[in-house]
Amino acid sequence: MTKKILKPKCVFDLQIVDADDKRLLEDDKKFFFVADQDKDGKLSNTEFHAFQNPESFPHMHGALIEVTMKEKDKNHDGKITLDEFLDDLAGDQKSDWYTVEKNRFEHDYDKDGNGVLEGPEIASWLIMNLETTAAEEVEHLISKADKDNDGRLSIDEIVSESDLFVGSEATNHGEDLVDLRHDEL
């Protein structure tokens, strides 16, 4: 007698899912189908990476912008205002977070200064240039820690400014400083 092995199916009963979860499932479905470039209904390693990190894959950018606009653009005018950008947290105008994000909106993302993000500004906000961001962070770290102004960091300079490096994404919040025998810095 042969036993039949049943494979479980992944089926969601959308009737029992709340509205937010339903929206997230719909967004994930959109990302899934765009990431599945060979259209076999499964994600390879590369396709899964695109699904998880749509900002890093040009073929995913349209879906990322569409999903974000659906979530953020409350008045459906195709633009993102400061309040839409900050979403539910816009009310706490005294917080440091509010000040930082408002500054980013006004000085980094709203290139034409018209008070809204639209067109290429939305893409620029969502699809960051990681090389530029990393270069800016490295420049910041060197400017703060390079005590002898030689454009290079010694181990002593890094150690003396350890708090600066531990808080930096450029050093993976300090994790990359565990083995400093390399000359990358």
Q: In this structure, are 149 and 170 located in the same domain?
A: yes
Full domain range(s) for residue 67: 18-72
- Judge whether 12 lies within some domain: no
Q: In this structure, are 102 and 137 located in the same domain?
A: no
Domain count, the chain: 3
Q: Whole-structure pTM over 0.85, yes or no?
A: no
- Judge whether 8 lies within some domain: no
3-state helix, strand, coil in the chain (%, to 5): 60, 0, 40
pLDDT digits (tens, 9 = 90+) for 129-173: 666 777 778 888 888 889 999 989 899 998 888 887 776 555 554
Chain mean pLDDT for the chain? 82
Higher-confidence position of 175 and 162: 162
Q: In this structure, are 118 and 148 located in the same domain?
A: no
- Judge whether 1 lies within some domain: no
Give the end of a domain, one of 72, 96, 114. Answer: 72
Query: Given this model, what pLDDT does residue 82 score?
Result: 93
Which of 17-26, 34-43, 98-107, 127-136 reaches the highest mean pLDDT?
34-43
